[in-house]
């Protein structure tokens, strides 16, 4: 920690390098820094994390005190969050750039999910003849609960009131060169504002098609909405490129710089990475464009191939 290095005359000052507001102690880096607070705030919408009052400094053993009194699941999720907070702090201190909190959240959801599966206490039948310790009915209930939990984490989430959310996706066939992009824009109630798909005939690779999908989504948002827009994609490379300040100089520079220009025409815009399960409708629309080599922009309507997905997502977030 910088405070410790400063005490040993290894640093000129002891202020936090991320926020620059307070002395960088272990507690500050893990709990009080704006970087840590933002990640915790985003995760608290999904995980059962402790309140801010519970994460208070009670002395050098504050973390041990908290862990010894917290419920088991809360303690485990808090440990994962603090581990990632510390890891990201180290990366930034050593020269890496900050990336959107949504990317961190998506990583932690995937990580926690994989841990849950690997630590599952159900003993499956193996070559030695061991059987499950649960009855078939108990196993069935466990499977149902796991599906419900996964569905809750992976569902599409509507934007806040006064914002629109634009989900975009690209589909590319390397062998045939056929490609398509899909876009769907919805408001805070889940109502469809714009549904669009477009065939792409000169795409070079997956990333370029994904970038073109992002560009078309931003353009449609600027044309059809005067609200702040949240642009979601399941391609992290394009998300990161669009979030970098200044002119892009990568192979996708001509598309990424157009995205940045078109974004400046919006009342406000943020780019977020989501899992494929949260981007199903845009994915299906991109597949439709690729399959049919057809393009269309529909207002307040959707094609039959995504009607059931729209209904499912609306039911989930109204529950």
DSSP designation for 32: I
pLDDT in tens, 129-187: 444 444 566 556 656 655 554 554 457 889 999 999 999 999 999 888 899 999 999 99
Average pLDDT, the chain: 80
Indicate the SS3 state at residue 269: strand
Tokens of 172: 């590319």
Q: Residue 183 is inside which H or E element, if any?
A: strand 179-186
- Global confidence as pTM: 0.56
pLDDT in tens, 102-135: 777 777 777 776 665 444 443 344 444 444 444 5
Beta strands at 192-200 and 228-233: parallel, antiparallel or unpaired: unpaired
pLDDT for res 290: 95
Tokens of 223: 């044309």
Q: How far apart are CA 187 and CA 167, in angstroms?
A: 12
DSSP designation for 296: E
- For residues 165 and 238, which has the higher predicted lDDT (pLDDT)? 165
pLDDT for res 95: 74
- Tokens 């290095």, residue located: 5
Q: Which pLDDT band, with edges at 50, 70 and 90, does 235 fall under?
A: confident
Tokens of 206: 């997956």
- Tokens 């999904």, residue located: 46
- For residues 216 and 142, which has the higher predicted lDDT (pLDDT)? 216
Highest mean pLDDT of the ranges 30-39, 200-209, 280-289: 280-289
Indicate the SS3 state at residue 167: strand
> Where do the structural domains in the chain lie, given as residue ranges?
2-112, 163-318
Tokens of 269: 């815009």
What homologous superfamily is domain 163-318 in, according to CATH? Ribonuclease H-like superfamily/Ribonuclease H (3.30.420.10)
Q: Are 160 and 189 in contact (CB under 8 A)?
A: no
């Amino acid at each position: 920690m910088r405070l410790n290095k400063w005490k040993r005359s290894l640093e000129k000052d002891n202020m936090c390098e991320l926020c620059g507001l307070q002395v960088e102690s272990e507690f500050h880096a893990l709990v009080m820094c704006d970087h840590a607070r933002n990640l915790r705030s985003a995760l608290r919408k999904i995980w059962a994390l402790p309140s801010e009052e519970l994460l208070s400094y009670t002395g050098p053993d504050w973390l041990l005190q908290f862990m010894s009194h917290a419920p088991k699941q809360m303690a485990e999720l808090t440990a994962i969050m603090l581990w990632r907070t510390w890891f990201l702090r180290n990366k930034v201190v050593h020269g890496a750039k900050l990336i959107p909190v949504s990317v961190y959240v998506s990583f932690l959801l995937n990580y926690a999910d994989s841990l849950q599966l690997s630590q599952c206490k159900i003993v499956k039948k193996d070559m030695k003849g061991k059987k499950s310790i649960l009855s078939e009915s108990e196993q069935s209930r466990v499977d149902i609960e796991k599906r419900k939990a996964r569905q809750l984490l992976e569902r599409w989430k509507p934007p806040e009131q006064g914002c629109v959310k634009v989900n975009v996706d690209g589909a590319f066939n390397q062998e045939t060169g056929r490609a398509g992009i899909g876009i769907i824009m919805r408001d805070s109630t889940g109502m469809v504002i714009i549904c669009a798909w477009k065939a792409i005939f000169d795409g070079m690779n997956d990333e370029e098609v994904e970038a073109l999908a992002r560009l078309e989504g931003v353009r449609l948002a600027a044309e059809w909405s005067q609200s702040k827009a949240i642009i979601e994609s399941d391609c992290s490379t394009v998300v990161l490129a669009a979030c970098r300040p200044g002119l892009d100089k990568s192979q996708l520079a001509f598309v990424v710089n157009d995205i940045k220009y078109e974004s400046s025409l919006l009342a406000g815009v943020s780019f977020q990475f989501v899992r494929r399960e949260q981007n199903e409708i845009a994915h299906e629309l991109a597949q439709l464009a690729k399959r049919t080599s057809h393009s269309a922009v529909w207002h307040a309507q959707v094609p039959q191939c995504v009607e059931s997905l729209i209904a499912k997502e609306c039911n989930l977030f109204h529950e």
